[in-house]
């Protein structure tokens, strides 16, 4: 009798090694830095705590002015406040100067963010200027219609239809150099502390006129405010009184009659 042999079949499972490459996590996208965010807000609060003009100017130029410029640029572009690049630049410079004047009015304790506050201020200012510009366009009369103008308007136009000679220009330049001594004569007459601060600021302005790069009258007025430490009302009153002293001196001296401003 045959013996049955059990055949054991061993299943050999081959292990395949699969090399898995290390998958590096995708780098997180960096959030774009806001041009007017918390840093600018904190810089405005910091500026309000400074005592000297130099400290305030440093904080403003480094941390605040770029944000103001970008804010105004966006408003002008989005709402179409300017019709040309030149007009846009002039409008932006005036508006940024106005925002600088309002820095002291911002009150962080009320809970409002600086961006929201100055965005509204800038937009309202631009709207007002846009309305003024529209009114000027309505009143504008082309010189091609010169024959139809009133006689008084024709006379006003004729006044500006000449170019000063080179000799005349040299005289005007020399006269400007005589302005500083005139300002010092005015200073002798003033007695009020606000007037003294104002005339000192004006003298400093003209002594440093070559070093300054002002773009508009508003910037000059702001500079005088900073130099004199007077508020707008005090500065306006002081300047009005100084003009009276100026007229007295000029009217009493024929050599000074060329000062017309």
Band of the pLDDT at 260, cuts 50, 70, 90?
very low
Q: How confident is the prediction for the chain on average, in pLDDT?
A: 78
Residues 132-155, mean pLDDT to the nearest whole number: 67
- Write out pLDDT tens, residues 181-215: 888 888 998 888 999 999 999 988 888 776 766 55
DSSP string, the chain: -PPPPPPP-PPPPPPPP-PPPP-PPPPPPPPPPPSSSHHHHHHHHHHHH--SHHHHHHHIIIIIHHHHHHHHHHHHHHHT--SSHHHHHHHHHHHHHHHHHTGGG--GGG---HHHHHHHHHHHHHHHHHHHHHHHHHH---GGGGGGS-HHHHHHHHHTS----HHHHHHHHHHHHTHHHHHHHHHHH--SHHHHHHHHHHHHHHHTTTT----SHHHHHHHHHHHHT--HHHHHHHHHHHHHHHHHHHHT-GGGTT---
- Write out pLDDT tens, residues 25-73: 666 656 566 789 899 999 999 999 998 989 999 999 999 999 999 999 9
pLDDT for 95: 94
Q: Which residue has better confidence, 121 or 223?
A: 121
Closest of 156, 154, 173 to residue 164, by C-alpha: 173
- Write out pLDDT tens, residues 135-144: 776 666 566 6
């Amino acid at each position: 009798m045959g013996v049955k042999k059990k055949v054991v079949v061993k299943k050999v499972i081959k292990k395949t090694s699969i090399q898995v490459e290390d998958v590096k996590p995708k780098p997180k996208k960096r959030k774009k830095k806001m041009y007017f965010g918390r840093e600018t807000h904190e810089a405005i609060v910091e500026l309000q705590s400074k005592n000297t003009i130099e400290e305030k100017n440093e904080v403003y130029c480094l941390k605040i002015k770029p944000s103001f410029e970008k804010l105004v640029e966006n408003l002008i572009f989005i709402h179409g406040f300017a019709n040309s690049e030149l007009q846009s630049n002039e409008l932006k410079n005036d508006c940024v100067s106005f925002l600088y004047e309002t820095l002291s009015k911002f009150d962080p304790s009320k809970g409002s963010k600086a961006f929201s506050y100055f965005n509204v201020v800038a937009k309202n200012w631009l709207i007002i200027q846009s309305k003024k510009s529209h009114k000027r366009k309505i009143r504008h009369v082309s010189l091609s219609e010169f024959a139809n103008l009133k006689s008084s308007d024709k006379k006003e136009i004729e006044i500006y239809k000449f170019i000063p000679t080179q000799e005349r220009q040299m005289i005007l330049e020399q006269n400007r150099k005589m302005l500083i001594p005139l300002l010092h004569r005015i200073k002798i007459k003033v007695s009020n502390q606000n007037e003294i601060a104002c005339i000192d600021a004006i003298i400093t302005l003209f002594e440093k006129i070559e070093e300054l790069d002002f773009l508009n009258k508003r910037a000059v007025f702001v500079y005088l405010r900073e130099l004199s430490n007077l508020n707008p009302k005090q500065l306006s009153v002081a300047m009005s009184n100084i003009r009276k002293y100026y007229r007295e001196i000029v009217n009493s001296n024929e050599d000074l009659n060329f000062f017309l401003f």
